[in-house]
Amino acid sequence: MAANPMHQFQVYRLGPEIKLGNVDLSFTNASLFMLISALSICIFLYFGSKQKSIIPGRLQLIAELFYNFIAKMINDTAGSKAKPYFPFIFTLFMFVLLCNMIGMLPYSFTVTSHIIVTLVMALFIFIAVTIIGFFKHGLKYLSIFVPKGVPVVLLPLITVIEIISYLSRPVSLSVRLFANMMAGHTMLKVFGSFVISLGLLGGWLPLSFSVALTGLEILVAFLQAYVFAILTCIYLNDALNLHH
Amino acid sequence: MKLKIPFVIFILWTETNLFAAEAGMPQLDSKYWYSQSFWLILIFLVLYLSLSKFFIPKIKDNLDDREKKINENLDEAKKFSELAERKNLDYENEITNAKKEVIKIINDSKKQLDKSINQKKEQFEKELEKEIKKAEKEIFELKNNSSDSIKTIAEEISSKVIQDITGEKLNSSSIKASVTEIAKNKVGKYL
């Protein structure tokens, strides 16, 4: 095989080494692409909100579309109580979406294909949601582990299962995004190298497959950002509206 | 999607040593974990702050402005359409009134016309009657005159005829008497 399909996930240092005590905080290619994503979002939203026209331009329309899309999603899943968290969910969705999408460009780096990145986000959401839950409901928040209408005999078992499922939330949330991103990009790379190794005669089949996969991956990039955001909304809903 | 991940893991497993971080999955190499987390938190925080303080309120303002303006315009349009409807109603009322008036005017003038025609007709008939009476009278007079003149003519003719036949002159009063007597019997027949 011409190139290692995992090579694209390699993190390397850019510029000088930054060390804080024993901890290496160097600026890497991952950091660079996070920065590019964040800057793209800012530039996009800057031009999307610059003109205050009644009939929106293209960028303004897209920006407002995203805004309404997220606002509707939050309202549908978590209700009006979740309104103060709108900026966070919006930022989260845009950041994950842009990281996924920029990762689709050739020779770029997919930030969200790293478990540590998605895990940090998922853990932050998990801890924040738990804190919000306890803050809003006190110890009553623990009743989330005791579903209503369960026979008393089954209650210990169900409670244990509920606790496990609650604790596995950050894992499932982070692994879902990371695994999808990594798998998609690896597949693209694998089929790309098939094109090279099969040459002009046999390379057309994997090439066409690669093209189709690219389309699928763009869909997945959007879908995973959406799933990440909507799951955050659902967790938030559990914390805000206990046993609705 | 579900098949994809096992497939990738299989490929990786056959191609590389999966869990030796350097060769397999760079994701599992902990060398840059702190760096990635640090930069992620930093960049995400800055992005969050700039979005929540700057961009999101701006978009929200835009959207609210638009909704407000659209609602205002809709209200105005509603007002205008109500106004137009009222004007239309007024206009229709005016048209019906005008139509009624027109019908009234037509009827009035028709009546007036009829009246004047009748008047004229009566007058004309009266005049006609008068003329007829006058003519009748004239005819009557003419008739009487003519019967008188016929009598005299008849007397003259009779006296002449008698004179021619007999050669003697009869006295005129006896002729007059006999002519009158004959005329009494016969005149009605011819005149």
Write out pLDDT tens, residues A195-235. 888 888 888 888 999 999 999 999 999 999 999 999 999 99
Is pLDDT larger for residue B40 or for residue B172? B40
Which stretches in chain A have pLDDT values below 50? 1-2, 244
Which pLDDT does position A1 carry in this prediction?
39
Return the residue matching tokens 């895990």: A119
Tokens of B181: 């007597």
Angle between helices A29-50 and B33-50 (to 10 degrees): 10
Name the A residues in 84-123 with CB < 8 Å from any B CB.
Answer: 86-88, 90-91, 94-95, 111, 113-117, 120-121
Q: Does B12 fall in a domain?
A: yes
List CB contacts (< 8 A) between B26 and chain A. Answer: 6, 9-11
Separation of alpha carbons B159 and B165, rounded Å: 10
3-state secondary structure of B120: helix
Q: Do B32 and A26 touch (CB under 8 A)?
A: yes
Rounded Cα distance between A112 and B154, Å, is 156
The verdict on residue B37 lying in a domain is yes
Q: Is residue B1 domain-resident? A: yes
Residue B15: pLDDT band with limits 50, 70, 90: low
Question: For residue B176, what pLDDT band results from cuts at 50, 70 and 90?
Answer: confident
Answer yes or no: is B126 within a domain.
no
pLDDT at position B4 over 80: no
Whether B16 shows a pLDDT value over 60: the answer reads no
Nearest Cα neighbor of A191 from A208, A216, A177, A174 is A208
User: Six-digit token pair at B46?
Assistant: 């800055």
Enter the tokens of residue B82: 């109500």
Question: Are the beta carbons of A28 and B36 separated by less than 8 Å?
Answer: yes
What is the number of domains present in chain B?
1
CB contacts of B41 in chain A (<8 Å) are 120
From residue A136, alpha-carbon distances to A97, A146, B167 in Å are: 30, 18, 171
Q: How far is CA B77 from CA A56, B68, B84, in A?
A: 22, 14, 10
Query: CA-to-CA distance for A50 and A59, rounded, in angstroms?
Result: 10
Let me know if residue B40 belongs to a domain.
yes
Cβ pair A42:B41 closer than 8 A:
no
| Contact yes or no for B28/A115 (Cβ under 8 A) | yes
**Is residue B100 one of the residues assigned to a domain?**
no
Instruction: Sort residue A11 into left (φ over 0), alpha (ψ -120 to 50) or beta.
Output: beta
What does each C-alpha distance from A172 to A52, A166, B105, B169 come to in angstroms? 41, 10, 92, 173
Those of residues 205-234 in A touching chain B at CB distance below 8 A are: 220
Q: Distances in Å between the alpha carbon of A126 and those of A89, A106, A169, A223, A234?
A: 13, 33, 7, 21, 11
Determine contact, residues A204/A191, Cβ cutoff 8 Å: no
pLDDT of residue B187: 60
Structure tokens at A1: 């095989």
Model pLDDT, residue B77:
95
Rounded to the nearest angstrom, the minimum Cα separation between B85 and chain A is 29
Q: Is residue B94 part of a domain?
A: no
Phi, psi angles (nearest 5°) of residue A23: -95, 130
Instruction: Tell me the whole-structure pTM to 2 decimals.
Output: 0.72
Contacting residues of B for A180, CB less than 8 Å apart = 1, 5
Q: Do A67 and B65 touch (CB under 8 A)?
A: no
Residue B130 resides in a domain:
no
Three-state secondary-structure class, residue A28: strand
Identify the residue with better confidence: B31 or A185: A185
Angstrom distance (rounded) from CA A133 to CA A140: 9
- For residue A1, which residues of chain B lie inside 8 Å, CB to CB? 15
pLDDT of res. B117? 94
Spell out the residues 6+ positions from residue A33 whose beta carbon is closer than 8 angstroms to its own. A99, A102, A103, A108, A109, A110, A111
Contact: A117, B4; criterion CB under 8 Å: no
Q: Percentage of residues in chain A with pLDDT exceeding 90? A: 51
Structural domain boundaries, residue B8: 1-57
Asked whether the beta carbons of B171 and B146 are under 8 A apart, the reply is: no
Q: Where are the beta strands (DSSP E) in A68-214?
A: none
Please give the average per-residue pLDDT across B45-69, as a whole number.
91
